[in-house]
């Protein structure tokens, strides 16, 4: 390995993917005591430090809360509502909700619990 450095100082070997890369792609160098430093290329560094975020896909579906067909991120939630209710939802069933109605459904579920509490004498 020492000969490679003398022949071409523009290259390094990434410690993660073990590929030869150009020095311009070097993202991180961590010195080690009495050993070669750990060198990481930009691609491996980003993969570890900036993992890809899960993409939310928009779909066409019927939202059970706003009662319309929407193109949105699909959220499936189990409802805990009293029956009968104005939306026609059944307690314990799972329904599809759009992104704008998701928070309203959470409030609606928790709001139903407040009505059942005893207020005392």
Contact by Cβ (8 Å): 77, 102: yes
* pTM score of the predicted model: 0.45
Q: Quick one: pLDDT at residue 114?
A: 47
72 within domain boundaries? yes
Q: Quick one: pLDDT at residue 59?
A: 86
14 within domain boundaries? yes
121 within domain boundaries? no
Q: Which domain holds residue 64?
A: 58-116
63 within domain boundaries? yes
CA 12 vs. chain centroid, Å, equals 33
87 within domain boundaries? yes
Q: Are residues 79 and 108 in the same domain?
A: yes
Locate the DSSP E strands across 42-86: 58-63, 68-73, 75-78
Measure Cα distances from 30 to 15, 20, 27, 38, 104 in Å. 10, 17, 10, 5, 49
Q: Are residues 45 and 68 in the same domain?
A: no
Q: Quick one: pLDDT at residue 7?
A: 58
Q: Quick one: pLDDT at residue 36?
A: 83
pLDDT by 10s per residue, the chain, length 121: 454 445 567 888 988 899 998 888 888 788 887 888 888 888 888 888 876 666 678 889 999 888 889 888 888 888 887 777 777 888 888 889 888 888 888 887 766 544 444 433 3
10 within domain boundaries? yes
Q: Are residues 32 and 72 in the same domain?
A: no
Place of tokens 């026609």: 88
Q: Quick one: pLDDT at residue 111?
A: 63
CA 118 vs. chain centroid, Å, equals 40
Q: Quick one: pLDDT at residue 16?
A: 87
Q: Quick one: pLDDT at residue 47?
A: 81
Q: Are residues 79 and 42 in the same domain?
A: no
Q: Are residues 74 and 91 in the same domain?
A: yes
Q: Are residues 79 and 43 in the same domain?
A: no
Q: Are residues 111 and 62 in the same domain?
A: yes
């Amino acid at each position: 390995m020492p000969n490679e450095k003398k022949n071409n100082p523009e290259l390094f070997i990434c410690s993660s993917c073990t590929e030869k890369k150009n020095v311009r792609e070097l993202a991180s160098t961590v010195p080690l005591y009495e050993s070669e430093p750990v060198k990481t290329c930009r691609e491996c560094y980003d993969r570890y430090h900036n993992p890809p975020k899960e993409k939310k896909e928009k779909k066409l579906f019927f939202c059970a809360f706003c009662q319309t067909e929407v193109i949105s991120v699909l959220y499936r939630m189990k409802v805990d509502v009293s029956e009968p209710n104005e939306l026609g939802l059944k307690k314990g069933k799972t329904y599809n909700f759009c992104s704008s109605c998701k928070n309203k459904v959470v409030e609606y579920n928790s709001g139903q619990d407040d009505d059942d509490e005893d207020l005392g004498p």
